Homo-oligomer: A and B are copies of this chain.
Amino acid sequence: PPVLKLAVIEGDGIGQEVVPQGVRALRAALEPVGVTVATTEFDLGAGRWHRTGETLTDEDMARLAEHDAILLGAVGDPDVPSGVLERGMLLKLRFGFDHYVNLRPTKLLPGVPSPLADPGDMDFLVVREGTEGPYVGNGGSMRTGTELEVATEVSLNTAVGVERVVRYAFEQAEKRRGKLTLVHKHNVLVHAGHLWQRIVDRVGAEHPDVTVDYAHVDAAMIYLATDPGRFDVIVTDNLFGDIVTDLAAAVGGGIGLAASGNLNPSGDYPSMFEPVHGSAPDIAGKDLADPTATVLSVALLLDHLGQLEPAAAVRAAVESDLAARTGSEILAARGTTQIGDDLVAAISGR
């Protein structure tokens, strides 16, 4: 029987609670199609760093590369200096495995409260570039710590890098409602911004059935707060994508439900799936974390593997579970494991 080789990085805090529920959901979804899941646990994150000083070694990367996909929880704790795990592990994975598509859907599901008074129908997909922009780590400082310090951060953008993610976004728009919005700030970041705009124009000409528009990132904030239903597919750079998707998560039902996939569509490297939320040390270890974002990330993993029916089963389970909730009391009353049990039962049709 076919075996899916899954690399599992629980990480820290609630990552260790939500990932096991994600793995259970994955197994339940793949059982009907006869695929079994072979997991390899990777000890990465704050715990490992505190013990060994290591973030992610070349050997880790080589072992991870042998898997079909990676499921990641969250990493970090307050005692790790800012940037150590982000640059040394998370971004090293995204860059090393050329995860040039960071896929983040927002769909306000029935029964889920939004902080917006009138959220309307919200169902859009952010395609965030994952390997370029201000995230490349090309910066530095001189006279550091003195009154004459100068610090730089360089955003690097290539036609190759922009075009491949723009193409991916247009393909998604074709499969959805046929609308694509470029979000950037090309009136100020003219060089990077005009590169993005030119490529969107050029690829757009090959997709006459897709309606294309543009929003400055600041205007996109206003739209997300007042009229998120206007979006179908948003394509944007790495930093703007980070910002836009957290706001999207907030208005779309909360960070506890936001899923993401870091894709290498070429298949040269394993793609990685993770909830958008962090390790939440304040609630960790208390069975209080909502595993739904991780389970929805598993649905993205199944999409990526072409397992569309199991993916649909996972989403249907989540939708009916959410529709039955009546607010945060239900989450607290059930806890992480119980929600996992309920989702697995629903996926298995029990």
In the assembled complex, how far is the CB of residue A157 from the closest CB belonging to chain B, in whole angstroms? Answer: 5
Contact present for B192 and A152 (CB under 8 Å): yes
The residue that A87 contacts in the complex, of B139, B143, B158, B188, with Cβ under 8 A, is B188
Are B115 and A225 in touch, CB under 8 angstroms?
yes
B151 touches A154 (CB 8 A): no
Q: A147–B134 contact, CB under 8 A?
A: no
* Distance from A194 Cβ to chain B, minimum over Cβ atoms (Å): 8
Contact of A219 among B140, B159, B185, B246 (CB under 8 A): B246
Instruction: Tell me, in angstroms, the Cα distance from A221 to B249 when the chains sit together.
Output: 10
Query: Which of B87, B143, B246 has a CB less than 8 Å from the CB of A190?
Result: B87
Q: Which residue of B lies closest to A160 (CB)?
A: B147
A317 to chain B, nearest CB (A): 26
Number of interface residues of A (CB under 8 A): 65
Pick from B157, B160, B222: contact of A250, CB under 8 Å: B222
Q: Are A151 and B195 in contact (CB under 8 A)?
A: yes
- Known contacts A117-B115, A195-B141, A251-B225: does B218 contact A82 (CB below 8 Å)? no
Number of copies: 2
Point out the residues of chain B lying under 8 angstroms from A186, CB to CB. 82-83
Judge if A63 is at the interface, Cβ distance under 8 Å.
no
User: B residues within 8 A CB of A140?
Assistant: 191
Say yes or no: is A135 at the interface (Cβ < 8 Å to chain B): yes
Question: Is A52 an interface position by the 8 A CB rule?
Answer: no
A225: chain B residues within 8 A (beta carbon): 115-116, 225, 247, 250-251
Of B149, B156, B193, B226, the residue contacting A195 (CB under 8 A) is B149
Q: Contact at A159–B147, with CB atoms within 8 Å?
A: yes
A217 at the interface (CB under 8 A from B): yes
**Is A190 a contact partner of B222 (Cβ separation < 8 A)?**
no
Asked if B155 and A134 sit within 8 Å, CB to CB, the answer is: yes
5 inter-chain pairs at a CB distance below 8 angstroms, sorted by A residue, are A82-B193, A152-B155, A153-B189, A221-B250, A225-B247
Closest 8 CB pairs of A and B: A218-B246, A221-B247, A149-B159, A225-B250, A83-B190, A86-B187, A117-B117, A139-B191
